[in-house]
Structure 1
Amino acid sequence: MTLRYLPDAGRLYGAEYARDPQAIYETLRRRHGAVAPVEIAPGIEAHLVIGYQAAVDVLTNAGGVWSKNPSAWQVRLPDTPEAAGMIGMLGHRPNALFSDGADHARYRKAISDCFQLIQPHKLRQLVTEVTDSLISRFAAEGEADLVADFARLIPARIFNLLFGRPDADSAGLTEALADLMEADGERGARGSEAFGRYIGELIQGKYAERGDDLTSWFIDHPAALQPEELVQTIVLVVAASYEPTANLISNTISRMVSDDRYYSSLTNGALSTYDALMEALRAEPAMSNYGPYFVRQPVHFHGTWIQPAELVLVSYAAANTEPTDVPDELRSDSGAYLGFGAGAHRCPASDPAVLIAMTAIERLTSHLCDLELTVPRDELVWRPGPFHRALAHLPVRFTPIRPDQPGDSPWAVQPPSSSTPSEPISPARSAGYATSAPWSS
């Protein structure tokens, strides 16, 4: 599907883009202004919103012209492996991401209500158990890849447990989601298939036997999600929790260990883990280009004509870093700008995401307080892909911690071994699920 009028589309794939996406955004900004033509895979084009005000206008549905339904765009895709890989990320699903109006409100309420049942201190305890068990695997080695050994393992294990599956199942989920997020032809299609299989087995098990977990809460929510709606709601929650949280963790750590302002804060510096997280959300958001949108009728938008069947993506990374005079108090996310989106489709689970990332990073830096990169930060390799800003590796070294040395060690807390946390994650106790749900009265 080719855009009709501009041949010089920027490529959001390949090594050049992965190495320095900001250079691509700056070139596009000079040539096209706030909205630019891009190619997100060979033969798959889109409009990329790179101006801050333009991004806000899309995200807040200025003028009421914006829709999340990709059906008209999807049917025009070519029959190619690249297009098949994009369907996993951009194809229509009956869930909150790809719906408007009353349907969106119903789906979103189910997500918001169920996430409110997760008590923050229980979630923090679960993150501590998972991260400590991961740290214990490499602490004695004195070196690690904090992407492969740490950041990419945490969200899959956390949400696998929150959804009520055994901890051992998280490895398959991690692999499926990594393939899916690459959106790379056959690999993307394979990841989509494996992810669907995981979700199907999860839901089948919870229909048979409820638990104190997110899956069961979704099943019993008054929104009365139909089977396919339930599947796609859980698909959205798992996918939206995995890649963004993993990248937020690794991107934040990479900044902390390469900048003395953050590095010294591991002991007594002026800037905190939260400061580093907010800066990562602003300058290197985990999902750098996403938020798929479509227009309901032809629109002349910030200097560009957009037609209903054309894909529009919001570049959070480009919009966040655009030179602008917009005051900080008008930006979202306490200085993180559009790190979690804005408007009706703003991420409903931003607080749990920040809690997970902060807890994981603080556990890591409290035990391994002399972390340092083994290569300069500007030599780190980033994974290619149009949607994410994700490190391929984060190699570090540190003073080893032996399991037999005195004092507190990362493996002081036993790793999770059951399908759910050792204590319920919601306010429910022996009285049962229904009595604790906010919709039970």
Structure 2
Amino acid sequence: MTSDSFATGPSSAPPGCPAHSGPAPLYGPEFAADPARTYSQLRRYGAVAPVELAPGVPGMLAIGYEAALEVLRDPITFPKDPRRWQATVPPDCPLLPMMGYRPNALFSDGSVHARLRAAVTDSLARVDPNLLRGYVESSADLLIGRFAANGEADLITEYARILPLHVFNSLFGCPPAIGDRLVEGMSGIFDGLDPEKSNMILGEAIMELVALKRSRPGADVTSWLMAHPARLTDEEMLHQLVTLLGGGTEPEQNLIANTMMLLLSDDRFAGDLSGGSLPVEDALDEVLWTDPPIANYAVTYPRQETELAGVRLPADQPVVVSFGAANTDPSLSTDRRAGNRAHLAWGAGPHTCPAQGQGRLIASIAVEKLLDGLPDMELAVPADRLTWRPGMFHRALTALPVRFPPTSVSSRPSPAPAMSRPEPPAPSAPMPPAAEPRQVAAAGAERPRWWSSLVGWWRGR
């Protein structure tokens, strides 16, 4: 980035501030431990600041609330297709698994985006919220029952990571063996550790799910996507599922864990808990404002040099929206967060998260079940000793150790309810008959021809 890539900024700066040493890095243990410190320093530039997204990879970060909202609401000035930028970075760039082009709704605009998003929203609309609630409750009871008698647990590995996987497997008709690898791959991509390996684990697992549902469609989101009038290709199916998985497991885990940490460590909420009140919804609002599970994303790529909040943005360079920084913009007129849903944690504009209702429902039930089942739970270590996973995209704890009086809670799973409505609403066009089932290749058998082409495409051949 050249020195004239932005129009505002201090002419001189004290040591330790980003302007003194160049663009601030959004990676490494220091950023993971205290991103708010970096955001605070970056505000010296104004509402938009130059940053280093990965070693040697520059970008611009929208840290002001109004600036972030402008980016999110203006897909013409700020399009989502990254391919021109992508051609300028090496193929092993650790950002590519999260920022590289995929033919899905997240990386498209206009009529292409409308078609792909319709398939997603129509399919998600067929999920009955009452049945979803019942399934989350039964899954939570099962998981709590596994560690309730131990008197201690890590709420990340034993609860928050597993519960969204159970829900995803049910919603998408995904066998647990495939689901485990989906989450392994997606977690590695968010962390930015060995992204090539993580990307391959994720891609191969999703391709197996697509092959399974082509052979045996059912009452699940994957099958509904396949049967939608948008008639998604196998490649489009693959990348729609990547987006849905990315939004449905890793961020959900973080929302559950960050809310539990707040409830167990903040006197404002701990005091209410001791009085018998469970302010779960207020805690969720607080987390979505101050520690959103996706901290920096919604990346856009202006096709020509443009201006945002008085700052010149280079053409084809990433403009990343910092949900964590924008939500805590000091210029916001109020700091009242309980019941305030004006945060940007779910995005805004045409790319707003299509599953925010389901996401909030799952998190609130997951937290409520923990507080109901283990009411005397407390952190096993001081809150300031908790550590955070690396990576700029998420706000994610490495562990959340807790202790509580051992209790006996049944871990027998309740029968999982069906996920679909008895009479699903009609989508935007008549649903065509399901495709003729195809046989899934047995282990070692020849894969269908489309499988080989997808594998080659995923691997960049």
Q: Could you tell me the TM-score, scaled by structure 2's length?
A: 0.85
1:118-133 alignment to 2 at 5 Å?
118-133=127-142
The SS at the match of 2:150 is coil
Distance 1:316 1:296, change over 3 A: same
Q: Residue in 2 aligned with 1:152?
A: 161
Q: C-alpha offsets along residues 129-159 of structure 1, whole Å, 9 cap, x if unaligned? A: 2222211221111011111111111212211
1:17 aligns with 2:2: no
Q: Residue in 1 aligned with 2:82?
A: 70
Aligned-partner Cα distance in 2 for 1:149–1:17: 26
Q: Residue in 2 aligned with 1:342?
A: 348
Q: C-alpha offsets along residues 222-252 of structure 1, whole Å, 9 cap, x if unaligned? A: 1111221111111110111111111000000
1:335-374 alignment to 2 at 5 Å?
335=341, 337-374=343-380
Q: Residue in 1 aligned with 2:9?
A: none
For these two proteins, the number of residue pairs brought into alignment is 416
Counterpart residue identity of residue 379, structure 1: R
Distance 1:333 1:299, change over 3 A: farther
1:440 aligns with 2:430: yes
Counterpart residue identity of residue 39, structure 2: Y
Counterpart residue identity of residue 35, structure 1: V
Counterpart residue identity of residue 427, structure 1: R
Moved more, 348-357 or 158-167: 158-167
Q: C-alpha offsets along residues 266-321 of structure 1, whole Å, 9 cap, x if unaligned? A: 46455610110010000000011000011132102223211221011000000100
Q: Residue in 1 aligned with 2:55?
A: 42
The SS at the match of 1:295 is coil
Aligned residues of 2:154 and 2:400 also touching (Cα < 8 A): yes
1:129-278 alignment to 2 at 5 Å?
129-184=138-193, 187-266=194-273, 268-269=275-276, 272-278=279-285
1:299 aligns with 2:318: no
Per-residue deviation, 1:436: 6.6
CA-based RMSD: 2.3
Aligned-partner Cα distance in 2 for 1:270–1:159: 30
1:101-116 alignment to 2 at 5 Å?
101-116=110-125
Aligned-partner Cα distance in 2 for 1:218–1:332: 36
Aligned residues of 2:156 and 2:400 also touching (Cα < 8 A): yes
Per-residue deviation, 1:170: 2.9
Aligned residues of 1:332 and 1:342 also touching (Cα < 8 A): no
Distance 1:398 1:306, change over 3 A: same
The SS at the match of 1:389 is coil
Per-residue deviation, 1:346: 0.8
Per-residue deviation, 1:161: 2.0
Aligned-partner Cα distance in 1 for 2:286–2:104: 30
Q: Residue in 1 aligned with 2:451?
A: none
Aligned residues of 2:265 and 2:379 also touching (Cα < 8 A): yes
Aligned-partner Cα distance in 2 for 1:326–1:36: 22
Distance 1:308 1:415, change over 3 A: farther
Distance 1:8 1:305, change over 3 A: same
Identity %: 41
Aligned-partner Cα distance in 2 for 1:332–1:283: 12
Match of 1:425 among 419, 437, 440: 419
Q: Could you tell me the TM-score, scaled by structure 1's length?
A: 0.89
Moved more, 120-129 or 262-271: 262-271
Aligned residues of 2:285 and 2:338 also touching (Cα < 8 A): no
Aligned residues of 1:50 and 1:318 also touching (Cα < 8 A): yes
Distance 1:250 1:113, change over 3 A: same
Distance 1:242 1:370, change over 3 A: same
Distance 1:333 1:37, change over 3 A: farther
Q: C-alpha offsets along residues 42-94 of structure 1, whole Å, 9 cap, x if unaligned? A: 112210110111001101118x3110010100000034x4x1x2111000111
Match of 1:26 among 32, 40, 43: 40
